[in-house]
């Protein structure tokens, strides 16, 4: 039996949106997901897969059509549950005339902070996100990266138990993305008990940051597991290069493993250790020479989207005789 403390519990949640008088669109379909405390969990999916809808239901902005969500054992959307959450929306925007420090004070006060505690927390957050130098500047003059960091700081003002980031790296340049990644890591290191739940469609961010991942596809949960587990289960394979095989065996490997001739010899991949052992002994028996055996790992993209249908994008044909 698991003894993990669950911070977000999503039970059979469905969300439908009315798109016409009699038309409805299913955004999230019977989603069940538990997010344990202290982890960085990535909610992965393409645009329109239901990531933001799920996050908005956790925050209480959207009411589930069916099912229930609990945040630290409190029903989602209640003031008690929101007092435990720090939220960074996708593309955060502030009133341009407000100054960085004022914004943190304002949001801190909305969390119920005041006096010395508020001043200290504001200073600490400005320091953490590297905006001390810009504390008195109007946010209208901030760059996108600075705005994003300020938005992260406002989410941290209440020292939350749960941090929810909606596409935190979206729209940032590579340097900005790296900064936000480092910041998320620093937050996790400094507040190890805080759960960080973020949505993204950028797989490298998930690989770099998350301990667990949940994949949504058209509102349906496809996978939810620890990344390491996913990598061991589905991500590992062995690459064999061999020479001196007889034609029968070569044809067999071409047919079964898609073997191809390379400059080093016949190269093919096998998925499991058992298969690797079987093939190696088979090659030895047949008098072949094993040039190399390498353990390989698939990228997360390859694993998660292995069932993706290929889409062939084609330019429209030019009309005959056209210029």
Partner 1 sequence: MNSLRIAWVAIQELLHEKVSYLLIGFALFSLAMSMVFGQMTYGEQAKLTLDFMLGATQLSMLLFSIFMGISLFQKELSMGSISMILSKPISRASFLLGKYLGQICMQFLITWMMGLMTCLFCLRFGSGSFSAAAVFQTVTLIAWEAAIITAVTYAFAVNSGAVVTSLGAASIFFIGHGRDTVSSNLKETSDLIVWNSAKTVLPDLEIFNMKALASYSQSIEWNEFFLASCYGTVCVAFYLSLAVLFFSRRDIAT
Query: What are the tokens at 141?
Result: 């003059």
Least Cβ distance, residue 158 to partner 1 (angstroms)? 8
Closer to partner 1 at the Cβ: 93 or 116? 93
69-71-75-77 Cα dihedral, nearest 10 degrees: -90
Comparing CB distances to partner 1, the nearer of 187 and 283 is 187
**Contact residues for partner 1, defined by CB under 8 A:** 56, 59, 61-63, 79-80, 82-83, 85-87, 89-98, 106-107, 109-112, 151, 154
Min dist CB 87 to partner 1, Å, is 4
CB atoms within 10 A of CB 265: 18
Q: Which residue, 105 or 267, has its beta carbon nearer to partner 1?
A: 105
Rounded to the nearest 10 degrees, the angle between the axes of helix 144-156 and helix 174-190 is 20
Nearer to partner 1 by Cβ, of 165 and 238: the residue is: 165
| CA nearest neighbour of 214 among 87, 7, 51, 16 | 51
The sheet with strand 24-36 has its strands ordered as: 24-36, 6-18, 66-71, 74-75
Distance from C-alpha of 230 to C-alpha of 309, rounded to nearest angstrom? 21
CB of 19 or CB of 263, closer to partner 1? 19
Q: How far is the CB of 149 from partner 1 (least distance, A)?
A: 14
Residue 70 or residue 87: which is nearer to partner 1 going by CB? 87
Smallest distance, partner 1 to C-beta of residue 99, A: 11
CB nearer to partner 1: pick between 15 and 188: 15
Shortest separation between residue 27's beta carbon and partner 1, angstroms: 10
CB of 98 to partner 1, least distance (A): 7
Instruction: Tell me the closest approach of the beta carbon of residue 59 to partner 1, in angstroms.
Output: 5
Let me know the angle formed at the C-alpha of 298 by 295 and 304, rounded to the nearest 5 degrees. Answer: 150
Distance of CA 46 to the CA centre of its chain: 11
Q: What's the CA dihedral at 222, 227, 228, 233 to 10 degrees?
A: 20
Q: What gap in Å lies between CA 4 and CA 283, rounded to an integer?
A: 47
Cα gap 107→73, rounded to integer Å: 24
DSSP codes joined into one string, 97-162: TSBHHHHHHHHHHHTT--HHHHHHHHHHHHHHTT-GGGTTSBGGG--HHHHHHHHHHHHHTT--SE
């Amino acid at each position: 039996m698991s003894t993990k403390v669950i911070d977000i519990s999503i039970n059979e949640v469905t969300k439908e949106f009315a798109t016409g008088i009699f038309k409805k669109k299913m955004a999230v379909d019977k989603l069940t997901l538990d997010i344990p405390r202290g982890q960085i969990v990535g909610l992965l999916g393409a645009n329109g897969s239901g990531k933001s809808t799920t996050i908005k239901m956790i925050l209480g902005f959207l009411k589930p059509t069916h099912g229930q969500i609990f945040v630290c054992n409190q029903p989602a959307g209640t003031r008690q549950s929101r007092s435990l959450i720090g939220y960074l929306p996708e593309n955060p925007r502030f009133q341009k005339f407000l100054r960085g420090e004022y914004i943190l004070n304002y949001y801190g006060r909305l969390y119920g902070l005041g006096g010395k505690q508020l001043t200290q927390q504001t200073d600490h957050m400005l320091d953490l996100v590297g905006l001390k130098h810009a504390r008195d500047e109007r946010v209208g003059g901030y760059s996108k990266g600075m705005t994003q960091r300020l938005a992260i700081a406002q989410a941290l003002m209440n020292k939350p138990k749960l941090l929810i980031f909606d596409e935190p790296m979206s729209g940032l340049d590579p340097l900005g993305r790296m900064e936000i990644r480092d910041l998320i890591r620093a937050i996790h290191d400094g507040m190890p008990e805080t759960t960080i739940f973020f949505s993204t469609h950028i797989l490298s961010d998930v690989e770099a940051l998350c301990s667990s991942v949940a994949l949504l596809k058209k509102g349906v949960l496809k996978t939810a597991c620890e990344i390491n587990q996913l990598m061991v289960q589905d991500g590992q394979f062995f690459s064999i290069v061999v020479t001196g095989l007889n034609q029968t065996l070569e044809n067999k490997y071409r047919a079964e493993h898609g073997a191809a001739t390379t400059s080093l010899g016949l190269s093919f991949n096998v998925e499991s250790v058992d298969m690797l052992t079987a093939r190696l002994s088979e090659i030895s028996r047949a008098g072949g020479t094993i040039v190399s055996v390498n353990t390989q790992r698939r990228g997360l993209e390859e694993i998660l989207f292995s069932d993706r249908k290929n889409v062939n994008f084609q330019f429209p044909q030019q009309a005959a005789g056209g210029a």
